[in-house]
């Protein structure tokens, strides 16, 4: 036997084996198709639902006056209690609001601890000082904004800050 004949015989065996293997795969795949065909049919509800889920819009547009039902469930959350605000003390109010002007004397503000600047103001009385702090005051030497510019502070907190500054400046 020649070398060419051996090659041709071996080549034929390999090609024949591949054809048989291909036919086996084809037959197995056809059998599997027959067994699983009933699972997904185009007219089946499950198949249609799967298609709808893939192509459904992400949102919807409603015109004014149209009624629409909520698609997502609503969850009732209990209302959180409002935090109880504690009043700040005189030194706390001074350090958070008043120190900007009364610590450096900006705009003619009397500096805390300077007895000469506070003497004439203290002589007017605590009621006048508190009124000027609450309502604002424009004097010859400067301007005091209403509540020192901190309108979120209560009247009692402002009064406590005035009493603290007066006490520190006597």
pLDDT in tens, 126-140: 898 898 888 888 888
Q: Report yes or no on 74 lying in a domain.
A: no
Are 49 and 99 in a shared domain? no
Q: What is the mean pLDDT of the chain?
A: 84
**Number of domains within the chain:** 2
Reply yes or no on whether the pLDDT at 151 is more than 80.
yes
Q: What local confidence, expressed as pLDDT, does residue 57 receive?
A: 84
pTM: 0.51
Q: Which residue has the higher pLDDT, 105 or 12?
A: 12
Contact 103, 112 (CB under 8 A): yes
Rounded Cα gap, residues 120 and 166, in angstroms: 11
Reply yes or no on whether the pLDDT at 78 is more than 80.
no
> Terminal CA-to-CA distance of the chain, rounded, Å?
129
The mean pLDDT of 95-105, rounded to a whole number, is: 88
CATH code assigned at 106: 1.10.760.10
Contact 165, 98 (CB under 8 A): yes
Q: What range does the domain containing 7 cover?
A: 3-53
Q: How confident is the model at residue 27 (pLDDT cuts 50, 70, 90)?
A: very high
Q: Is 100 exposed, middle or buried (0-12, 13-18, 19+ CB in 10 A)?
A: middle
Coil/strand/helix, residue 138: strand
């Amino acid at each position: 036997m020649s070398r060419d004949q051996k090659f041709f015989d071996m080549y034929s065996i390999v090609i024949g084996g591949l054809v048989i293997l291909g036919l086996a795969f084809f037959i197995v795949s056809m059998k599997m198709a027959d067994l699983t065909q009933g699972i997904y049919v185009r007219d089946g509800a499950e198949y249609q639902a799967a298609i709808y889920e893939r192509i459904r819009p992400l949102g919807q547009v409603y015109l004014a006056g149209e009624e629409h039902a909520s698609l997502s469930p609503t969850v009732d959350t209990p209302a959180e209690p409002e935090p109880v605000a504690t009043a700040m003390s005189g030194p706390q109010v001074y350090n958070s609001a008043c120190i900007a002007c009364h610590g450096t004397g900006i705009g003619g503000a009397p500096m805390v601890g300077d007895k000469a600047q506070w003497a004439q103001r203290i002589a007017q009385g605590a009621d006048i000082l508190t009124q000027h702090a609450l309502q604002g005051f424009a004097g010859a030497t400067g301007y005091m904004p209403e509540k020192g510019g901190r309108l979120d502070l209560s009247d009692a907190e402002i009064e406590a800050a005035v009493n603290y500054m007066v006490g520190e400046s006597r």
